[in-house]
Amino acid sequence: MGLFSLLFGGRLNIVCQKCGKKYSVGKNAVVITMDDWRNYARRTIGASDADDRKQEDLVSGIETSKPEVRKSILAEAREKAKHIRKALSRGQKRTWRCHACKNINAYHI
Ligand SMILES: [Zn+2]
């Protein structure tokens, strides 16, 4: 584990370029990744159509989720944040959609 991941843990701090909403994925926000969409699509409509479709990650605050599930969805979000960090550090181009205003942002982390 490098210094970077020690400092930031599984969190991913991002700001929407349009509405200015700040999200800390794993702390006060969750993410549905494009890989989740793909897996869902693969399960429901079959593999080939799902593979090439470019999808952005959807980032949302946890204020709308039920208090009793927050702990578990945040733990899951931290794992996803790590996955996204890793993908970005490998040079993958990916974007995220702000749940509040629907704007699609690039990752600046
Ligand atoms: Zn926004």
Rounded to the nearest angstrom, the distance between the alpha carbon of 104 and the centre of ligand 1 is: 8
* pLDDT per residue as tens digits for the range 54-68: 679 999 999 888 999
Res. 1: pLDDT tops 60: no
Domain locations along the chain: 3-106
Residues 34 and 26: their CA atoms lie apart, in Å, by 17
Give the global pTM.
Answer: 0.80
For the CA atoms of the chain, what is the radius of gyration?
Answer: 14
Rounded to the nearest angstrom, the distance between the alpha carbon of 91 and the centre of ligand 1 is: 24
Res. 10: pLDDT tops 80: no
* pLDDT per residue as tens digits for the range 69-93: 999 999 999 999 999 999 899 998 8
